Structure 1
């Protein structure tokens, strides 16, 4: 689209359209984001002085921030506060929009990283902001539009697509193994033995470090991976098998109880919203 700044995520350093957002003398600067890569790639740990709202239109991405992992499916966005150290991983093609917001602009903006649902108005405001000149005129229609954008971001509904990550080395080793082979449905007793802990100690540590029980944490891991795989066009049957469920209906029941809709409808609503 004419006038839209679209840095290619894999090579922003060579994009003539990319200007470091922290260097732009405006409270909000927005970009379109795009990648047509076939494989996965990751932007290494980095930070911005401005906070970042990243909307996914097509595809899905995951973001690692100290203390957690977030998945962003279509029609959702993630808020990364200013100066938060984070890495971004993309699998396959991605389209979206990103707004960088100065930390002193609006005290209502979230203070912690979170995934939020995106209304049609918020999406259109991000698109409009990405078409503005970098140094847009202030004090008129552009500033009023930016003010409405901030209102919509502050009012966005938080989605439960966050996986708290433990810092204890033994728990991180367990988490890495579970993420590498999510179909492994070993018992709590078995996992405790594998990481050299008693069952009681494992239960206590994972509760202290994640705020969840062992079973709830493993279920949330399954939700995070399922959303990522479904956004990458995997079938419900394949996702259920890859997560170690004996049947697709049992996986669908878990998904519906956690996110409020069965996986087919959950993803269809996001693809439909993208076309509006």
Structure 2
């Protein structure tokens, strides 16, 4: 667990919490009895599950189902808020990991719920506040900030090599030759195991690393070069195609998040 863990009243199907994680903090594989929504105010959290990786930059959140085994890695000094929710609280709660947008209303509701330190009275303001949180988390927009992992050991090893050498040009034909298979075979297996075309997966891996590096205040030029782009403009064009934001737009979001 991180530092300065605080929470609202626990004995209710929904309760809010806040927690800080220092740079490089690791939480090894674990799970929770409740659903967990983590919203980052500063820093970046990487969530690893057996299905893949989710990157949560400032202002976003990650939804982790109950009993879902996961591990965390923080980049930068992370300030986070969130809620824990009993699975029985609603039949409409999703049961898969996803990165979500966290609107201003939900951010304020979580801050208010942190102040609840007494038993919840029926039909009280506090009960209505927590029920409104439950309503809001069921309509959070999902964001494509995840990188699915393949299941076969051979493709898992390939993906690890790609993530460790993102500056290289990973095209389908050359990569297939390295594996001593045809490009059609690699494309078919990769699509089947990850749900993404090979080239899309590589771009997504670069985007997610860029999100971490940019949030850590790494210059755009350095990010571009480290990811194999000849210029910041080429990197920015790719980043915008994949995220609908320029790197500058992405960074400007952080300044508006209250800490």
Moved more, 102-111 or 62-71: 102-111
Q: After the TM superposition, which parts of structure 1 deviate over 4 Å for at least 4 consecutive aligned residues?
A: none
CA distance in 2: counterparts of 1:122 and 1:204, whole angstroms: 41
Give the alignment's TM-score, normalised by structure 1.
0.87
2:15 aligned residue: 29
CA distance in 2: counterparts of 1:161 and 1:138, whole angstroms: 39
- Contact kept in structure 1, 2:7 and 2:114, CA below 8 Å: no
1:9 aligned residue: 2
Q: How does 1:51-70 map to 2 (within 5 A)?
A: 51-70=35-54
Give the alignment's TM-score, normalised by structure 2.
0.93
Give the RMSD, CA atoms, in angstroms: 2.1
Q: Gaps (5+ residues) in structure 2?
A: none
Query: Structure 2 vs 1, CA of residues 117 and 18 (structure 1 numbering), >3 Å: closer, same or farther?
Result: closer
Residues 7-64 of structure 1: per-residue CA shift (max 9 Å, x gap): x616x8xx7x589x9xx431012211112x34x1210111111100000000111001
- 1:132 is the counterpart of 2:116: yes
CA distance in 1: counterparts of 2:218 and 2:91, whole angstroms: 40
- Contact kept in structure 2, 1:236 and 1:264, CA below 8 Å: no
2:256 aligned residue: 273
1:203 aligned residue: 187
- 1:182 is the counterpart of 2:166: yes
1:91 aligned residue: 75
- 1:244 is the counterpart of 2:237: no
1:171 aligned residue: 155
Residues 57-83 of structure 1: per-residue CA shift (max 9 Å, x gap): 001110012211000011100100111
1:256 aligned residue: 240
Would you say how many aligned residue pairs link Structure 1 and Structure 2? Answer: 259
1:102 aligned residue: 86
